[in-house]
Amino acid sequence: MEIRDNIRGDLKVLDRFPHLLVALEPRGSFQFAYSLTSHARGHFSIGPLEVWCLDPFLVTRRKVLELPAEGVAFLPSVSRIAYLRLPYARTTRIAGEIPSNSPGEGFEFMEISETDVLAGKRINWRAVAKARRPFVNTYRAEKSAECLVVLDVPSRRLLGRELTSILVDKMVELAATLVYYLSERGNRVSLLVVGNYRDWVKPGFGKRHLLRILHSLADVKSLEYKPLVDYSEVFQLTAPFLTKSGSLIFVISTFTEPSGNRVLEEAVYRGYNVVPVAVNPFKSVEGVCSVEERRVIVRLSELWDKGVIGVLGSREGLKVDFQLLKLVEAMLCA
């Protein structure tokens, strides 16, 4: 028997081969396996698998079986984040680690309130001694948050085709890391991709929903053509279906094009709690440039740091998380 599985050029075989000859006894069986890898993320097809029957002298051959092609997915890489302090946001009824506006079990102090029932509560003995009435400390309940991750895909005008693909891979990896962190802590997460590529994933919880978002991110790329739809209009029409006003929105962008800045303005205007995640486009490509290009790239990177970070820090309604920005810089340099 001759067994051949057709593999595309984007995929690389690690061990063994998807093409072999095997001699089978009557009613005999045979199993074989091989491993694949890919330098690019995305969805690929494998097959069809063909099985040919040969005579003992390997002269004649005829096809006896052909199995249809199957798909394999290479998801974006995910890095581990120890802890991120998230700002106040619209919360769900499920317990989490985001302080809400309702009293309950938590660690952040809210107020001192008078009560008739002291069992199981944290008594404020100083207030009791002063007022001669029962007072307790009230803390904010910690619940899961409503989160939307917006990925702004850059065009190829700034860095060219090859360097932009490296930048997009870094931004997708950052989005996957952020989605993984939020999902693992029980938050309700949704995804919106704007810019030179558009897609969205409705909100949800759990590991299956995390896989839906990772499969969506696996196909993100910078397209050849420029979308004609206004980015703020895309956000305006899509965001209310993905998350409600007051929710937490992360905008991952280089902020060198109108798309990311318009999304920021629209999100702040509509009452969302916005956290800009600024990605330095020049930092991510320093390691792949020539010596002459690197001098220019380093200078542009310094100018970007001073300009974009300074503008974002001075905007009203934005919560610039410098811990998150340090994480971004570490991932870009990795």
Higher-pLDDT residue of 140 and 19 is 19
Per-residue pLDDT tens digits for 71-119? 889 999 898 887 777 776 666 666 656 666 655 665 566 667 777 666 5
Q: Which residues of 229-265 are buried (b: 16+ CB within 10 A; e: fewer)?
A: eebbebbbebbeebbeeebbbbbbbbbbbebbbbbbe
Confidence of residue 261 (pLDDT cuts 50, 70, 90): confident
Task: Return the minimum-mean-pLDDT range out of 69-78, 121-130, 171-180.
Answer: 121-130
Q: Count Cβ atoms within 10 A of the Cβ of residue 146 and give its class: 0-12 exposed, 13-18 middle, 19 or more buried.
A: buried
C-alpha count within 13 angstroms, C-beta hemisphere, residue 12: 6
Tokens of 138: 């009230």
| Residue 156 pLDDT > 70 | yes
Q: Supply the pLDDT for residue 47.
A: 83
Write down all domains in the chain, each with its CATH number in brackets. 2-74 (no CATH), 97-143 (no CATH), 144-333 (3.40.50)
Per-residue pLDDT tens digits for 11-60? 888 877 778 888 888 888 888 888 888 888 899 888 888 999 988 887 88
Confidence of residue 180 (pLDDT cuts 50, 70, 90): very high
Confidence of residue 323 (pLDDT cuts 50, 70, 90): low
C-beta of residue 268 within 8 angstroms of C-beta of residue 299: no
Residue matched to tokens 């919560």: 319
Backbone angles phi, psi at 184, to 5 degrees: -65, -25
For 7, 12, 26, 68, 69, the CA distances from 50, given in Å and listed in that order, are 12, 19, 20, 9, 10
Q: Supply the pLDDT for residue 177.
A: 92
| Residue 1 pLDDT > 90 | no
Mean pLDDT of the chain: 80
Evaluated on CA atoms 13, 18, 23, 27, the torsion sign reads positive
> What is the C-alpha radius of gyration for the chain, rounded to an integer number of angstroms?
27
Distance, in Å, from the CA atom of 184 to the CA atom of 207, rounded to the nearest integer, reads 8
Per-residue pLDDT tens digits for 273-284? 888 888 888 877
Rounded mean pLDDT, 312-326? 67
> Is 247 strand, coil or helix?
coil
| Residue 254 pLDDT > 70 | yes
